[in-house]
Amino acid sequence: MRKRGSDFRAAEKVPAARNRVKASLELALLGLIAERSAVSGYDLLKTFNYSMAHYWHARHGQIYSTLESLGQRGLIQSREVIQRGRPNKRLYTITSAGRAALVEWLESPYEGLRFKHAPLLRCRFLAYLGADRAKAMLKEERDACAVYLETYRAIEHEAFRSSRSYGSANEMFAYFTLKRGITFIEETMRWCEWAMAEIENNRGLFNGASRRSSLRRGFIEQDDQHRDLVAAQCEIERQEQRIG
CATH of the domain at 78: 1.10.10.10
The whole-model pTM stands at 0.69
Domain identity same for 96 and 133: no
Asked, for residue 222, whether it belongs to a domain, the answer is no
Range of the domain at 38: 15-106
Domain identity same for 136 and 92: no
Domain identity same for 30 and 93: yes
- Burial-class residue 143 by CB neighbours within 10 Å (0-12, 13-18, 19+): exposed
pLDDT for residue 159 = 81
pLDDT for residue 14 = 43
Final residue belonging to a domain, choices 106, 132, 155? 106
Asked, for residue 126, whether it belongs to a domain, the answer is yes
CA atoms within 13 A on the CB side of 56: 20
Stretches where the chain sits below pLDDT 70 are: 1-17, 162-164, 208-244
Contact assessment for residue 182 and residue 156, using Cβ atoms and an 8 Å cutoff = yes
Q: What are the distances in angstroms from CA 53 to CA 44, 47, 154?
A: 12, 9, 14
Distance CA 84, CA 87 (A): 8
pLDDT for residue 100 = 96
